[in-house]
Chain A
Amino acid sequence: AQTVTQSQPEMSVQEAETVTLSCTYDTSESDYYLFWYKQPPSRQMILVIRQEAYKQQNATENRFSVNFQKAAKSFSLKISDSQLGDAAMYFCAYRSAYGYGGSQGNLIFGKGTKLSVKP
Protein backbone atom coordinates (compact mmCIF):
# COMPACT_ATOMS: atom_id res chain seq x y z
CA ALA A 1 0.00 0.00 0.00
CA GLN A 2 1.12 3.52 -0.71
CA THR A 3 2.04 5.89 2.09
CA VAL A 4 2.76 9.61 2.26
CA THR A 5 5.01 11.11 4.93
CA GLN A 6 5.40 14.75 5.88
CA SER A 7 8.21 14.87 8.41
CA GLN A 8 7.79 18.53 9.43
CA PRO A 9 4.70 19.02 11.63
CA GLU A 10 5.35 22.77 11.80
CA MET A 11 7.42 25.28 9.85
CA SER A 12 7.92 29.00 10.11
CA VAL A 13 9.06 31.56 7.55
CA GLN A 14 9.63 35.29 7.51
CA GLU A 15 7.45 37.30 5.16
CA ALA A 16 9.07 37.68 1.70
CA GLU A 17 11.45 34.76 2.37
CA THR A 18 11.43 31.30 0.80
CA VAL A 19 10.41 28.09 2.53
CA THR A 20 10.45 24.46 1.46
CA LEU A 21 8.04 21.84 2.77
CA SER A 22 9.07 18.19 2.53
CA CYS A 23 7.07 15.18 1.42
CA THR A 24 8.16 11.62 0.75
CA TYR A 25 6.05 8.77 -0.45
CA ASP A 26 6.31 5.04 -0.83
CA THR A 27 4.98 3.23 -3.88
CA SER A 28 5.88 0.41 -6.22
CA GLU A 29 3.97 2.01 -9.09
CA SER A 30 5.61 3.89 -11.94
CA ASP A 31 2.73 6.15 -12.90
CA TYR A 32 0.91 8.34 -10.42
CA TYR A 33 -0.03 11.89 -9.50
CA LEU A 34 1.16 14.03 -6.63
CA PHE A 35 -0.60 17.05 -5.17
CA TRP A 36 -0.08 19.79 -2.64
CA TYR A 37 -3.22 21.10 -0.96
CA LYS A 38 -3.47 24.16 1.27
CA GLN A 39 -5.91 24.38 4.18
CA PRO A 40 -6.10 27.93 5.63
CA PRO A 41 -7.85 28.69 8.94
CA SER A 42 -11.18 28.68 7.08
CA ARG A 43 -10.48 24.91 6.60
CA GLN A 44 -11.35 25.03 2.90
CA MET A 45 -8.99 22.65 1.07
CA ILE A 46 -7.43 24.38 -1.93
CA LEU A 47 -5.30 22.73 -4.59
CA VAL A 48 -1.91 24.42 -4.82
CA ILE A 49 -0.08 22.37 -7.42
CA ARG A 50 -0.16 19.03 -9.25
CA GLN A 51 2.64 16.88 -10.66
CA GLU A 52 2.32 13.95 -13.03
CA ALA A 53 4.95 11.29 -12.36
CA TYR A 54 5.67 10.74 -16.06
CA LYS A 55 6.67 14.37 -16.49
CA GLN A 56 10.27 15.14 -15.64
CA GLN A 57 9.70 18.88 -15.56
CA ASN A 58 8.83 20.25 -12.14
CA ALA A 59 5.43 21.91 -11.89
CA THR A 60 5.22 25.63 -11.15
CA GLU A 61 2.29 27.86 -10.22
CA ASN A 62 3.29 31.47 -9.66
CA ARG A 63 5.20 31.57 -6.33
CA PHE A 64 4.76 27.85 -5.78
CA SER A 65 7.03 25.23 -7.30
CA VAL A 66 7.91 21.63 -6.60
CA ASN A 67 11.09 19.61 -6.59
CA PHE A 68 10.02 16.18 -7.80
CA GLN A 69 12.68 13.50 -7.36
CA LYS A 70 11.09 10.30 -8.65
CA ALA A 71 13.95 7.95 -7.81
CA ALA A 72 14.13 9.30 -4.28
CA LYS A 73 10.30 9.37 -4.00
CA SER A 74 10.45 12.94 -2.83
CA PHE A 75 8.04 15.78 -3.63
CA SER A 76 8.88 19.02 -1.87
CA LEU A 77 6.99 22.32 -2.18
CA LYS A 78 8.86 25.61 -2.40
CA ILE A 79 7.04 28.83 -1.60
CA SER A 80 8.88 31.94 -2.76
CA ASP A 81 8.28 35.48 -1.53
CA SER A 82 6.11 34.18 1.32
CA GLN A 83 3.01 36.20 2.15
CA LEU A 84 0.88 36.36 5.28
CA GLY A 85 -1.90 34.64 3.34
CA ASP A 86 0.30 31.59 2.84
CA ALA A 87 -0.10 30.68 6.51
CA ALA A 88 -2.00 27.39 6.50
CA MET A 89 -1.79 23.64 6.83
CA TYR A 90 -0.23 22.08 3.76
CA PHE A 91 -1.02 18.51 2.78
CA CYS A 92 0.87 16.35 0.33
CA ALA A 93 -1.24 13.72 -1.45
CA TYR A 94 -0.66 10.74 -3.77
CA ARG A 95 -2.99 9.25 -6.32
CA SER A 96 -2.37 6.14 -8.38
CA ALA A 97 -2.78 6.36 -12.14
CA TYR A 98 -3.98 2.77 -12.20
CA GLY A 99 -7.26 1.24 -11.22
CA TYR A 100 -9.55 4.22 -11.63
CA GLY A 101 -12.95 3.07 -10.52
CA GLY A 102 -11.53 1.23 -7.56
CA SER A 103 -9.82 2.21 -4.36
CA GLN A 104 -6.46 2.64 -6.09
CA GLY A 105 -7.69 5.87 -7.62
CA ASN A 106 -8.28 7.53 -4.28
CA LEU A 107 -6.10 10.21 -2.72
CA ILE A 108 -3.70 9.24 0.06
CA PHE A 109 -2.80 12.18 2.30
CA GLY A 110 0.12 12.94 4.55
CA LYS A 111 -0.56 14.32 8.02
CA GLY A 112 0.23 17.87 7.05
CA THR A 113 2.69 20.66 7.82
CA LYS A 114 1.51 23.78 9.60
CA LEU A 115 3.17 26.84 8.07
CA SER A 116 3.38 30.10 9.98
CA VAL A 117 4.41 33.34 8.29
CA LYS A 118 6.01 36.04 10.44
CA PRO A 119 5.55 39.69 9.44
Chain B
Amino acid sequence: DGGITQSPKYLFRKEGQNVTLSCEQNLNHDAMYWYRQDPGQGLRLIYYSQIVNDFQKGDIAEGYSVSREKKESFPLTVTSAQKNPTAFYLCASSQGWLEQFFGPGTRLTVL
Protein backbone atom coordinates (compact mmCIF):
# COMPACT_ATOMS: atom_id res chain seq x y z
CA ASP B 1 0.00 0.00 0.00
CA GLY B 2 1.25 3.47 -0.87
CA GLY B 3 1.44 5.99 1.90
CA ILE B 4 3.45 8.09 4.30
CA THR B 5 5.02 6.76 7.46
CA GLN B 6 6.31 8.78 10.38
CA SER B 7 8.35 7.52 13.27
CA PRO B 8 8.37 7.43 16.14
CA LYS B 9 4.74 7.99 17.11
CA TYR B 10 5.79 9.47 20.46
CA LEU B 11 9.13 11.12 21.20
CA PHE B 12 10.50 12.58 24.40
CA ARG B 13 13.36 15.03 24.46
CA LYS B 14 15.42 16.44 27.26
CA GLU B 15 16.33 20.09 27.35
CA GLY B 16 19.31 20.85 25.10
CA GLN B 17 18.99 17.72 22.96
CA ASN B 18 18.55 17.53 19.22
CA VAL B 19 16.04 14.97 17.98
CA THR B 20 15.19 13.78 14.48
CA LEU B 21 11.72 12.88 13.26
CA SER B 22 11.48 10.47 10.37
CA CYS B 23 9.18 10.82 7.35
CA GLU B 24 9.11 8.33 4.48
CA GLN B 25 6.75 8.14 1.50
CA ASN B 26 6.34 5.55 -1.25
CA LEU B 27 3.88 7.57 -3.32
CA ASN B 28 6.62 8.77 -5.69
CA HIS B 29 5.67 12.36 -4.86
CA ASP B 30 8.14 15.11 -5.64
CA ALA B 31 7.10 17.51 -2.88
CA MET B 32 7.26 16.95 0.87
CA TYR B 33 6.31 19.16 3.80
CA TRP B 34 6.63 19.43 7.56
CA TYR B 35 3.94 21.03 9.69
CA ARG B 36 3.63 21.81 13.36
CA GLN B 37 0.25 21.65 15.11
CA ASP B 38 -0.44 23.24 18.50
CA PRO B 39 -3.75 23.18 20.41
CA GLY B 40 -6.21 25.73 19.03
CA GLN B 41 -4.03 26.41 16.02
CA GLY B 42 -4.15 25.28 12.44
CA LEU B 43 -1.17 23.66 10.83
CA ARG B 44 1.87 25.84 10.44
CA LEU B 45 4.50 25.12 7.80
CA ILE B 46 8.04 24.51 9.02
CA TYR B 47 9.92 23.45 5.88
CA TYR B 48 9.07 22.18 2.43
CA SER B 49 10.92 20.52 -0.41
CA GLN B 50 9.78 20.48 -4.03
CA ILE B 51 12.60 18.28 -5.34
CA VAL B 52 15.49 16.21 -4.07
CA ASN B 53 18.44 18.16 -2.68
CA ASP B 54 16.40 21.34 -2.40
CA PHE B 55 14.26 22.72 0.42
CA GLN B 56 12.91 26.05 1.63
CA LYS B 57 11.93 27.56 4.96
CA GLY B 58 8.28 27.82 5.80
CA ASP B 59 6.63 30.19 8.24
CA ILE B 60 8.23 28.88 11.45
CA ALA B 61 11.62 27.39 10.45
CA GLU B 62 13.67 28.78 13.35
CA GLY B 63 15.10 26.00 15.50
CA TYR B 64 14.47 23.30 12.89
CA SER B 65 16.52 21.76 10.10
CA VAL B 66 15.80 19.29 7.30
CA SER B 67 17.51 17.34 4.54
CA ARG B 68 16.23 15.83 1.30
CA GLU B 69 18.86 13.42 0.02
CA LYS B 70 16.34 10.92 -1.31
CA LYS B 71 12.97 11.44 -2.98
CA GLU B 72 11.17 9.26 -0.48
CA SER B 73 12.68 10.67 2.72
CA PHE B 74 12.43 14.07 4.42
CA PRO B 75 13.67 13.96 8.04
CA LEU B 76 13.14 16.87 10.40
CA THR B 77 15.60 17.73 13.16
CA VAL B 78 14.36 19.71 16.13
CA THR B 79 17.40 21.46 17.52
CA SER B 80 18.07 22.81 20.98
CA ALA B 81 17.53 26.29 19.52
CA GLN B 82 13.79 25.59 19.26
CA LYS B 83 12.45 27.22 22.42
CA ASN B 84 9.11 25.48 22.62
CA PRO B 85 9.27 22.22 20.68
CA THR B 86 6.44 20.35 22.43
CA ALA B 87 3.86 19.87 19.67
CA PHE B 88 2.38 17.44 17.18
CA TYR B 89 4.37 17.20 13.93
CA LEU B 90 2.85 16.19 10.63
CA CYS B 91 4.63 15.28 7.43
CA ALA B 92 2.90 15.49 4.05
CA SER B 93 3.64 14.92 0.39
CA SER B 94 2.07 15.99 -2.90
CA GLN B 95 2.50 15.69 -6.63
CA GLY B 96 1.96 18.78 -8.71
CA TRP B 97 -1.20 20.71 -7.89
CA LEU B 98 -2.92 17.77 -6.27
CA GLU B 99 -3.84 17.67 -2.64
CA GLN B 100 -1.35 16.88 0.07
CA PHE B 101 -1.39 13.50 1.75
CA PHE B 102 -0.44 13.33 5.39
CA GLY B 103 1.37 10.88 7.61
CA PRO B 104 0.04 9.79 11.03
CA GLY B 105 2.18 12.32 12.93
CA THR B 106 4.71 12.37 15.76
CA ARG B 107 3.97 13.74 19.20
CA LEU B 108 7.10 15.41 20.64
CA THR B 109 7.29 16.22 24.33
CA VAL B 110 10.11 18.06 26.06
CA LEU B 111 10.84 16.76 29.54
Contacts and interface: CB of A to CB of B under 8 A. Distances in A.
Contact of B42 (A44, A91, A97, A101): A91
A5 B92 CA distance: 22
Nearest to A103: B56
B1 to A, nearest CB: 14
A47 B42 contact: no
A75 interface: no
Interface in A78-119: 91, 95, 97, 100-103, 105-107, 109-112
Contacts of A4: 42
Nearest to B102: A45
Secondary structure type dominating chain B contacts: strand
Contact of A106 (B42, B58, B90, B99): B58
B42 A45 contact: no
A64 interface: no
Contacts of B100: 107
B105 A44 contact: yes
Given A4-B42, A35-B99, A43-B88, 16 more contacts: A37-B102, A42-B104, A43-B104, A44-B102, A44-B104, A46-B102, A47-B101, A50-B99, A100-B97, A102-B56, A103-B48, A106-B33, A107-B100, A109-B42, A109-B44, A112-B42
17 contacts: A33-B99, A35-B99, A44-B102, A44-B104, A45-B43, A91-B42, A97-B97, A102-B56, A103-B56, A105-B97, A106-B48, A107-B33, A107-B43, A109-B43, A110-B42, A111-B40, A112-B42
Interface of B: 33, 40-45, 48, 50, 56, 58, 88, 90, 92, 96-97, 99-102, 104-105
